[in-house]
């Protein structure tokens, strides 16, 4: 048979019938038997070997007998193995399969995408009658056939469902390893969740029991750059967002975690331009259309890898709704927003100060500018000669090249040094231009010389001063930051070369004073790497004042909550001092601005010859090219020619529409827009509160009339264990995917979210991640312990069904439990209420830490230990059942509480427990949403069990202090003064003895009035008033060993005493040393004498 041939060592035996004729033939035959020739060479080789030719028939028969014995032994082993497996098969099948189906007596639970799981009962005890056969293995085959029949039955009724449904093997049954193997679970389990449709809002029931529609809970994922790879900042926001999504899904909200990616205009264009550069090409060489085609090719091939990485972290996002900011519907929304804002007069074209990146040749946003500290920058001080008088005004600058664009010198109106010069003129060095001396409060009289050079075209502060004083703006640089024709003889020089040459020329003209070192901060282009050049440029802008006021009101009036609230001040600061927003970028990759310029007959653009005040701006704003031509022909005639604006929109403009464009806007009748807008939560880093979050609120209020979300949750930055920012230079970067590979996603998620609260930076170390991996193993082994108990209990289907958790225990159920069970369930309910409240108020770190503490310090350290005693009590089967039910109830609840934080391990363990429903992630939260008030508790039981804990902790501390071996049991007398304290100790006497490692047979629980202290020395522990423990000292220490230790300690202390005595006996020390020092020495001597006295007393007792 096939099964037998699997045993490779016995392969030869299966072919013996063919070999025997050849073996038994006379040796004189010259030719090989054709039957032997037909056999595989590896089977024949042993028998055709030279030495076998000498065999006679007796030897052959002996050899066949030996093989027969071996054959029989193997059959016996197989038979025994199958018999052992068969004995527990019914129980295992009933347990492992009914946990994924519902019995006839169970209520119907939610299934994938709102389906209802079939009410099937696997009657595994009814093995069909069939003729007896010799092999016990056939009974195993019968049971397997029953299992297969049940699965076919399930598939026929629900073709889209499967009992196994692609779960990891360890979640379906079989032996559980002693260490949690996350690698064998995570990716398989994630695929099962996704293919089952559990990430969709439809996975939860859409209506409450009263028929009312359940509220929606929407978290729009901040779209990462399509070029991006996962870093710890991404890992943190995925963990926080997914915790909130999973929590709200379990409490029954229609939960949508909406994913997507941003086209990342500059970053993506740079990637493709670098590829072209390798071929000695630029985008201008191949043209716009060909370049965009290459970018789309790159995006489709390599872009969006970060989404796959987020899956590794367990992000339960609805990937079928995933959006990309350049999707056609998203592009239509962007065009619609631009047109509407322009129609309202909120978008205009004009000359304004921008951050200009010379390397990228585009304006960039404030977020794309990083500031670099330069502690040793040069400060150049020079003379501004008065035009009509002798003398000069000393002026200092860090950028001498901008002198060529100066249009004024500014002083403070109250500065006595320069008051008389206000209104006069000075001469711009080298150029000879005359410019005025003006006064403005902006000038700091104490800084530098107290006089500022004003260059409105190349400094943002100067630009504002220039507007206040109507100063002209002289742009002296090209887009590449080289000097232009306004720079005179310096035209064509790089700005830094111009700086050196101009200063040298000024030295020759004796216009320089000195160069000193001065710390400064310079703006650096995040993408280009060069210093930003502030520059006045023709761009498209959004008027933000009105929208900013509406956004301020939304927070102040409570329409939007910022968590933590301290960031409200930052919100106010930014929005109260907001400037018009530059939304155009001189790039090719992005949303091309929906503006078409009218071409003149000579090919120039009409808009280039107009000003902001012109009645006809010379361009058409429209939703499409066809709409633009329709409007233009009505205005300029049939033969008008249009050219679309070359610029694209700032990435933040399209991402500012993210919460509503992703659900169907501008089609407000679309179902997703109605159901999922506004969103409930926007979770992101505090560093983009203004750059992105504020703009979403402004755009949402302006375009939809609603705030796009009700809560803004701000997380901090992930730092290393010492609080330093992670960077490749510092070598302290922790790679999230590498961490997941080594420790599992659950450990990383839990470490990130419990490291700090909202708005706090998160210190992260590998030691912390390793500790939480150990916590996962603790959780795993607790589950393994329960599964083992259930397996060994050989429970019936009804008994297994009784273990399933359908909701919180009621008060009468709790009150009927024994003390330890009443205690743990009561504490559990307190934790459930607290964790629910904490998550609803977004205190995620506290919630996770609370569940961790309860599971580790209460459930495993106390109740599991107590349950071992309860279930070992002879003749008390009800106590065992009660303990098992409580173990499962509390563990099941802990898995539900921990699931948002550690989804993989909790789902896997839950699948191994008796349960109703298909998946933990769509099961009910331990406190259902419709539950009013707090869960029932028994505080009296908590108090009583607390007494036992106090006694155990006191004994444990004494054992540790005296270094008693962990496995050694000691005697103890517990002396109690009142019955209320005595009752719980008597009720759980065996538990107390087991956990404290005390001899139960000799342990006395006695009333203090009738207690006679023993004559032997004891360690007396005063636990509280009216409660003591007396432990025989002889059992706490090894007398001889302890005497040696104390003697050694006493000798050391005596040396210290002799040294201190000698010092105090010296007149030179007592008379000359400060009194305080002498007093300190005497106090040290007294302390040492007291220590040695205590040691000698202890030794005498020993």
- 730-768: pLDDT as tens digits: 678 889 999 999 999 999 999 999 988 888 888 888 999
pLDDT, position 208: 61
823 close to 944: Cβ distance less than 8 angstroms: yes
User: For residue 334, with 0-12 CB atoms within 10 Å meaning exposed, 13-18 middle and 19 or more buried, which class applies?
Assistant: buried
- Does residue 779 carry a pLDDT above 90? yes
Mean pLDDT for the chain? 85
- 302-332: pLDDT as tens digits: 887 899 999 999 999 999 999 999 999 999 9
pLDDT, position 20: 47
User: For residue 313, with 0-12 CB atoms within 10 Å meaning exposed, 13-18 middle and 19 or more buried, which class applies?
Assistant: buried
Task: Categorize the per-residue pLDDT at 1078 as very low, low, confident or very high, splitting at 50, 70 and 90.
Answer: confident
Residues near 1070 by beta carbon (within 8 Å), at least 6 away in sequence: 1064, 1078
pLDDT, position 32: 40
- Does residue 1039 carry a pLDDT above 80? no
Cα-based torsion angle of the residue sequence 411, 417, 419, 425 in order, rounded to the nearest 10 degrees: -70
Task: Categorize the per-residue pLDDT at 975 as very low, low, confident or very high, splitting at 50, 70 and 90.
Answer: very high
Residues near 872 by beta carbon (within 8 Å), at least 6 away in sequence: none
**Which of 203-207, 236-240, 553-557, 778-782 has the weakest average pLDDT?**
203-207
Report which of 457, 644, 462 is spatially closest to residue 537, judged by C-alpha positions: 457
Of residues 208 and 1083, which shows the higher confidence score? 1083
318 close to 256: Cβ distance less than 8 angstroms: yes
The two tokens of residue 97 are 């399969």
**Which of 133-142, 261-270, 743-752, 1073-1082 has the weakest average pLDDT?**
133-142
The two tokens of residue 431 are 């150029």
DSSP characters over 602-654: TS-BGGGG--TT-SS-SEEE-SSHHHHHHHHHHHH-TT--EEE-S-EE-HHHH
- Does residue 57 carry a pLDDT above 60? no
Task: Categorize the per-residue pLDDT at 79 as very low, low, confident or very high, splitting at 50, 70 and 90.
Answer: low
pLDDT, position 755: 83
Mean pLDDT, residues 1033-1051 taken together: 81
Measured distance CA(297)–CA(318) in Å, rounded: 25
pLDDT, position 304: 78
H or E element that contains 435? strand 434-439
- Does residue 572 carry a pLDDT above 90? yes
Task: Categorize the per-residue pLDDT at 712 as very low, low, confident or very high, splitting at 50, 70 and 90.
Answer: very high
Measured distance CA(618)–CA(601) in Å, rounded: 13
Mean pLDDT, residues 666-685 taken together: 95
The two tokens of residue 851 are 């569940």
Q: Read off φ and ψ for residue 662, nearest 5 degrees.
A: -75, -15
Residues near 115 by beta carbon (within 8 Å), at least 6 away in sequence: 158, 160, 161
Of residues 54 and 727, which shows the higher confidence score? 727
Of residues 143 and 675, which shows the higher confidence score? 675
For 540-555, the three-class secondary structure string (H helix, E strand, C coil) is EEECCHHHHHHHHHHH
402 close to 458: Cβ distance less than 8 angstroms: yes
- Does residue 113 carry a pLDDT above 60? no
The two tokens of residue 385 are 């000669």
205 close to 214: Cβ distance less than 8 angstroms: yes
pLDDT, position 213: 73
Report which of 168, 182, 190 is spatially closest to residue 748, judged by C-alpha positions: 182
Task: Categorize the per-residue pLDDT at 239 as very low, low, confident or very high, splitting at 50, 70 and 90.
Answer: very high
393 close to 384: Cβ distance less than 8 angstroms: yes
Mean pLDDT, residues 597-613 taken together: 91
The two tokens of residue 933 are 């008030």
pLDDT, position 128: 31
User: For residue 258, with 0-12 CB atoms within 10 Å meaning exposed, 13-18 middle and 19 or more buried, which class applies?
Assistant: buried
pLDDT, position 448: 85
Task: Categorize the per-residue pLDDT at 284 as very low, low, confident or very high, splitting at 50, 70 and 90.
Answer: very high
745 close to 312: Cβ distance less than 8 angstroms: yes
Report which of 764, 763, 759 is spatially closest to residue 715, judged by C-alpha positions: 759
Tell me the pTM: 0.78
Measured distance CA(102)–CA(240) in Å, rounded: 33
The two tokens of residue 218 are 């929407």
Report which of 224, 232, 356 is spatially closest to residue 655, judged by C-alpha positions: 224
Half-sphere exposure of 457 (CA within 13 A, CB side): 18
Task: Categorize the per-residue pLDDT at 1071 as very low, low, confident or very high, splitting at 50, 70 and 90.
Answer: confident
682 close to 713: Cβ distance less than 8 angstroms: yes
The two tokens of residue 436 are 């005025």
Measured distance CA(673)–CA(38) in Å, rounded: 75
The two tokens of residue 305 are 């890898």
3 state DSSP class of 279:
coil
Residue 516, beta-bridge partner list: 379
Q: Count CB neighbours of 331 within 10 A.
A: 19
Mean pLDDT, residues 577-596 taken together: 95
Task: Categorize the per-residue pLDDT at 842 as very low, low, confident or very high, splitting at 50, 70 and 90.
Answer: very high
pLDDT, position 211: 62
Residues near 173 by beta carbon (within 8 Å), at least 6 away in sequence: 92, 96, 912
Residues near 783 by beta carbon (within 8 Å), at least 6 away in sequence: 176, 891, 895, 909, 912, 913
Residues near 55 by beta carbon (within 8 Å), at least 6 away in sequence: 23, 63
Size of the chain, expressed as the number of residues it contains: 1102
pLDDT, position 728: 62
- Does residue 257 carry a pLDDT above 90? yes
878 close to 865: Cβ distance less than 8 angstroms: no
Report which of 98, 105, 142 is spatially closest to residue 123, judged by C-alpha positions: 98
Measured distance CA(247)–CA(241) in Å, rounded: 10
Measured distance CA(226)–CA(228) in Å, rounded: 6
Mean pLDDT, residues 72-89 taken together: 53
Find out whether the peptide bond into 564 is cis, omega within 30 degrees of 0.
Answer: yes
Task: With both helix axes pointing from N to C terminus, report the angle between 736-743 and 305-312 in degrees, rounded to the nearest 10.
Answer: 30
Cα-based torsion angle of the residue sequence 112, 116, 119, 120 in order, rounded to the nearest 10 degrees: -30
pLDDT, position 209: 61
Measured distance CA(156)–CA(160) in Å, rounded: 9
Measured distance CA(924)–CA(709) in Å, rounded: 25
């Amino acid at each position: 048979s096939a099964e037998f041939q699997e045993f490779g060592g016995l392969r030869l035996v299966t072919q013996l019938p063919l070999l025997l004729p050849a073996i038994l033939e006379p040796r004189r035959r010259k030719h090989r038997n054709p039957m032997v020739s037909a056999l595989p060479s590896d089977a024949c080789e042993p028998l055709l070997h030279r030495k076998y030719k000498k065999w006679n028939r007796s030897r052959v028969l002996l050899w066949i007998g030996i093989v027969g014995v071996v054959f029989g032994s193997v059959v016996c082993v197989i038979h025994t193995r199958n018999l052992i497996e068969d004995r527990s098969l019914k129980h295992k099948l009933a347990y492992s399969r009914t946990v994924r189906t519902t019995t006839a007596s169970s209520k119907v639970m939610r299934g994938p995408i709102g389906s209802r799981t079939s009410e099937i009962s696997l009657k595994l005890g009814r093995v069909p009658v069939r003729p007896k056969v010799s092999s016990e293995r056939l009974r195993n085959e019968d049971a397997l056939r029953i299992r297969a029949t049940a699965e076919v039955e399930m598939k026929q009724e629900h073709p889209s469902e499967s009992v196994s449904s692609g779960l990891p093997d360890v979640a379906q049954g079989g032996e559980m390893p002693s260490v949690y193997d996350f690698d064998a679970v995570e990716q398989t389990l994630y695929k099962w969740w996704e293919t089952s449709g559990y990430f969709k809002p439809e996975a939860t029931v859409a209506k409450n029991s009263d028929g009312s529609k359940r509220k929606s809970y929407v978290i729009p994922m901040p779209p990462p750059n399509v070029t991006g790879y996962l870093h710890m900042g991404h890992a943190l926001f995925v963990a926080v967002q997914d915790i909130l999504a999973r929590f709200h899904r379990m409490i029954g909200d229609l939960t949508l975690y909406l994913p997507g990616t941003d086209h990342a205009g500059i970053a993506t264009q740079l990637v493709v331009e670098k590829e072209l550069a390798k071929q000695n090409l630029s985008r201008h060489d191949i043209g716009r259309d060909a370049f965009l085609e290459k970018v789309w090719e790159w995006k489709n091939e390599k872009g969006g890898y970060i989404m796959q990485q987020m899956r590794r972290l367990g992000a339960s996002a609805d990937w079928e709704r995933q959006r990309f900011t350049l999707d056609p519907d998203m592009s239509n929304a962007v065009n619609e927003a631009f047109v509407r804002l322009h129609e309202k007069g909120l978008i205009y074209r004009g000359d304004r100060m921008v951050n200009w990146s010379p390397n990228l040749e585009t304006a960039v946003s404030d977020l794309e500018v990083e500031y670099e500290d330069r502690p040793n920058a040069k400060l150049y001080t020079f003379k501004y000669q008065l035009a009509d008088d002798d003398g000069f005004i000393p002026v200092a600058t860090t950028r001498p090249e901008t002198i060529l664009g100066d249009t004024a010198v500014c002083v403070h109106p109250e500065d006595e040094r320069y008051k008389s010069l206000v209104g006069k003129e000075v001469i711009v060095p080298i150029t000879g231009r005359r410019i005025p001396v003006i006064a403005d409060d902006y000038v700091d009289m104490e800084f530098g010389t107290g006089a500022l050079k004003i260059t409105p075209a190349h400094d943002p502060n100067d630009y504002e001063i220039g507007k206040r004083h109507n100063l002209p703006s002289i742009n002296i640089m090209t887009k590449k930051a080289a000097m232009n024709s306004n720079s005179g003889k310096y035209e064509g020089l790089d700005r830094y070369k111009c700086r050196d040459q101009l200063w040298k020329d000024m030295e020759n003209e004796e216009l320089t004073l000195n160069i000193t070192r001065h710390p400064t901060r310079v703006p650096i282009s995040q993408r280009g790497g060069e210093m930003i050049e502030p520059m006045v440029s023709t761009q498209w802008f959004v008027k933000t004042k009105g929208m900013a006021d509406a956004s301020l009101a939304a927070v102040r009036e409570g329409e939007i909550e910022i968590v933590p609230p301290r960031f409200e001040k930052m919100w106010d600061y930014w929005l109260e001092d907001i400037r018009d927003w530059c939304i155009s970028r001189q790039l090719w990759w992005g949303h091309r601005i929906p503006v078409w310029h009218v071409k003149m007959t000579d090919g120039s653009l009409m808009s280039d010859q107009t000003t902001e005040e012109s009645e006809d701006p010379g361009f058409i704003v429209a939703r499409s090219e066809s709409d633009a031509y329709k409007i233009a022909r009505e205005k300029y005639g049939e033969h008008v020619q249009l050219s679309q604006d070359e610029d694209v929109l700032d990435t933040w403009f399209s991402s500012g529409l993210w919460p509503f464009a992703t659900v169907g806007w501008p089609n407000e009748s679309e179902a997703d827009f109605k159901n999922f807008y506004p969103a409930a939560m926007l979770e992101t880093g505090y560093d983009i509160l203004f750059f992105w979050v504020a703009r979403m609120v402004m755009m949402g209020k302006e375009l939809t009339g609603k705030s796009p979300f009700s809560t803004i949750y701000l997380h901090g930055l992930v730092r290393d264990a010492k609080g330093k920012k992670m960077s490749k230079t510092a070598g302290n970067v922790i790679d999230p995917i590498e961490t997941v590979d080594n420790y599992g996603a659950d450990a990383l998620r839990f470490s990130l979210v419990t490291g700090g609260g909202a708005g706090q930076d998160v210190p992260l170390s590998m030691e912390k991640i390793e500790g939480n991996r150990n916590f996962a193993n603790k959780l795993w082994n607790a589950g393994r312990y329960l599964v083992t108990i259930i397996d060994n209990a050989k429970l019936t289907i009804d008994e297994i069904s009784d273990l399933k958790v359908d909701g919180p225990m009621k008060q009468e159920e709790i009150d009927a439990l024994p003390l330890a069970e009443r205690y743990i369930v009561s504490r559990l309910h307190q934790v459930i209420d607290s964790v629910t409240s904490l998550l609803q108020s977004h205190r995620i770190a506290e919630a996770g830490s609370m569940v961790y503490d309860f599971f580790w310090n209460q459930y495993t350290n106390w109740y599991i230990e107590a349950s071992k005693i309860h279930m070992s009590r002879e003749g008390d089967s009800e106590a065992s059942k009660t303990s098992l039910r409580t173990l499962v109830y509390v563990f099941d609840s802990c898995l539900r509480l921990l699931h948002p934080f550690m989804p993989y391990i909790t789902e896997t363990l839950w699948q191994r427990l008796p349960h109703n429903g298909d998946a933990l992630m769509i099961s009910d939260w331990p406190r259902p949403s419709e539950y009013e008030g707090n869960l029932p508790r028994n505080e009296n039981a908590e108090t009583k069990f607390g007494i036992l804990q106090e006694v155990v902790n006191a004994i444990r501390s004494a054992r540790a202090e005296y270094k008693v071996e962990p496995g050694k049991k000691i005697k103890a007398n517990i002396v109690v003064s009142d019955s209320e304290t005595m009752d719980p100790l008597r009720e759980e006497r065996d538990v107390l003895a087991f956990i404290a490692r005390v001899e139960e047979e000799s342990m006395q629980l006695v009333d203090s009035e009738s207690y006679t202290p023993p004559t032997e020395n004891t360690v007396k522990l005063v636990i509280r008033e009216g409660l003591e423990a007396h432990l025989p000292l002889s059992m706490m220490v090894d007398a001889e060993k302890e005497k040696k230790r104390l003697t050694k300690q006493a000798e050391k202390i005596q040396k210290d005493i002799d040294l201190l005595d000698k010092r105090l006996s010296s007149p030179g020390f007592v008379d000359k040393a400060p009194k305080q020092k002498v007093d300190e020495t005497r106090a040290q001597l007294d302390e040492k004498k007291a220590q040695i006295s205590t040691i000698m007393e202890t030794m005498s007792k020993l």
